[in-house]
Amino acid sequence: MDEVATGQCLCGAVTFRIAGKFESFFLCHCARCRKDSGSAHAANLFSSTAKIVWLSGEENIREFRLTGSQHVKCFCTTCGSALPVSQANGGVLVVPAGSLDSPIAIRPHAHICFSSRANWDNDLGSLDRIDGLPG
């Protein structure tokens, strides 16, 4: 039986369902993924067999392909949230972990492109942890 995950963009205009299993989960620190996410890394799930169904808002989806690379990003034109994308003519489905509303059954497998990490991305696990916004 296929695993099923659901997700949406921040504004809720785009919703989707994914049926299938995620084979890998990576935290990528390359400069392109840092630009895409605006953060220390992108957190993406990958599947060669899962299928996506857009439930709503497909007209709000735009795709950006970086010339001269395999780098692709799909996003909602209303709120800018990252959305799943199929790479290489329907090959691998790449799903931003933060776009999912369903629990994720696997943990990240590895930090990739770690030598490309931002100069401030070092020993972040030792920082204070605050459950809400800082006071």
What does pTM read for this prediction? 0.91
Give 61's strand partners.
Answer: 76
Q: Which CATH number covers residue 73?
A: 2.170.150.70
pLDDT value at 1 more than 60:
no
Instruction: Note the Cα 90 to chain centre separation in Å.
Output: 17
Give the total number of structural domains in the chain.
1
127 assigned to some structural domain: no
Question: In the numeric block, which tokens belong to residue 57?
Answer: 């808002």
39 assigned to some structural domain: yes
Question: In the numeric block, which tokens belong to residue 66?
Answer: 């970086």
pLDDT digits 0-9 by tens, 88-128: 666 899 999 999 999 999 999 999 999 999 999 988 888 88
35 assigned to some structural domain: yes
Distance CA 135, CA 130 (A): 10
Domain holding 36, by residue range, is 4-117
126 assigned to some structural domain: no
Question: In the numeric block, which tokens belong to residue 130?
Answer: 């605050």
53 assigned to some structural domain: yes
106 assigned to some structural domain: yes
Distance CA 35, CA 3 (A): 31
Q: How confident is the model at residue 2 (pLDDT cuts 50, 70, 90)?
A: low
28 assigned to some structural domain: yes
pLDDT digits 0-9 by tens, 52-94: 999 999 999 999 988 988 888 999 999 999 999 987 666 899 9
- Of all residues in the chain, the percent with pLDDT exceeding 90 is 78
85 assigned to some structural domain: yes
